Amino acid sequence: MRLDRVAPDVLRLCLLPFDVINAYVLGDVLVDSGGRLGAPRLLSAVAGIPIAGHVVSHAHFDHQGSSHAVCERLGVPLMCGEGDRTALETGDLMSVLPQQGTWIARLTRQFGGPAHPVSRTLHEGDEIGGFTVIEAPGHTPGHLALWRGHDRVLFLGDVLFHRNPVTLRHVLTEPFRFATFDPAENRRTARRLAALEPSIVCFGHGEPLRDPARFAAYVSTLEDNEPVTA
C-alpha cells in the first residue's frame, strides 16, 4: 500500500495497484476504507497517524468494506450522509444499488463489510477534517463530497472516476450505470462540483487531477439525457 501526499493535510492511500481504489486522510479524518479483506493493510498504513473519525463517502463495498474494523480498532466514530445511513447500519449495501443481479452485486456480497452504527450523519455545510461537506447524491442517495476552499481541493468520491477500475484505463469518466442509483442526478452533482473550479480533484478511483481546465471541459460535456459509457 502506498501513501501519497496530495496537499497539506491530505494523504492518499492507494489500497490496490494501479490507483484502482483510494482512501484518504483529510486532517485527522480517514475517508473511505476499501474492501473488507484489506483491513489489516489499511490499519497498518495509518498506524502512527492521528485519526479522530472515519467518514464513508458512500455505501459501496469498495469504500465501506473495512470501516467496521477501522472504527473498532481505532475507537473512532463512523460518519456518512443521511441517505446511506441505513445501508451502513444494517449492512444492506444492496439497497443503494439500482440493480440486484449484476456482478457488482456479487462483489458486494463477497467484499462488503459488516454493519456498524453511525455516530453522526453529515449534511451540507458541516465541517470535518478541515473540509466542508457537500451533499453529492446520484451515485448513491447519500453520497458525500468534501471541499477545502482556501486551496481549492475537492474530494468527490465516485461522482467521477479517474481510472476505470475494471479495464484499468486511465481516463476521466463517469461511474458505472449499473452501480449508480440515479445517473442523471449524479451528472447534476458533477456540474455543481465543477462550478467550484477546484485546483486539485481527488477521486475514489484513480490518481488526483491537477488540471482544472480538463476537469471543467469534461464535465461540460455531460447531459442528463445522454447514456453513461463507463
CA–CA dist 201, 157 (Å, integer): 10
Pick the CATH number of 2-220 from 3.40.640.10, 3.50.50.60, 1.10.10.60, 3.60.15.10: 3.60.15.10
pLDDT tens-digit series, residues 105-115: 788 888 999 99
The pLDDT of residue 144: 99
pLDDT at site 226: 57
pLDDT for 145 equals 99
What pLDDT is recorded for position 99? 76
Residue 134 contacts residue 189 (beta carbons within 8 Å): no
CB 197 within 8 A of CB 208: no
**pLDDT by residue, tens only, the chain of 230 residues:** 889 999 999 999 999 888 899 999 999 999 999 999 999 999 999 999 999 999 999 999 999 999 999 999 999 999 999 999 999 999 999 999 987 667 777 888 889 999 999 999 999 999 999 999 999 999 999 999 999 999 999 999 999 999 988 888 899 999 999 899 999 999 999 999 999 999 999 999 999 999 999 999 999 999 865 555 55
Supply the pLDDT for residue 106: 82
Question: What is the pLDDT at residue 166?
Answer: 83
Record the pTM: 0.95
Question: Where along the chain do its domains lie?
Answer: 2-220
* CB neighbour class for 189 (10 Å; exposed up to 12, middle 13-18, buried from 19): buried
pLDDT of res. 228:
52
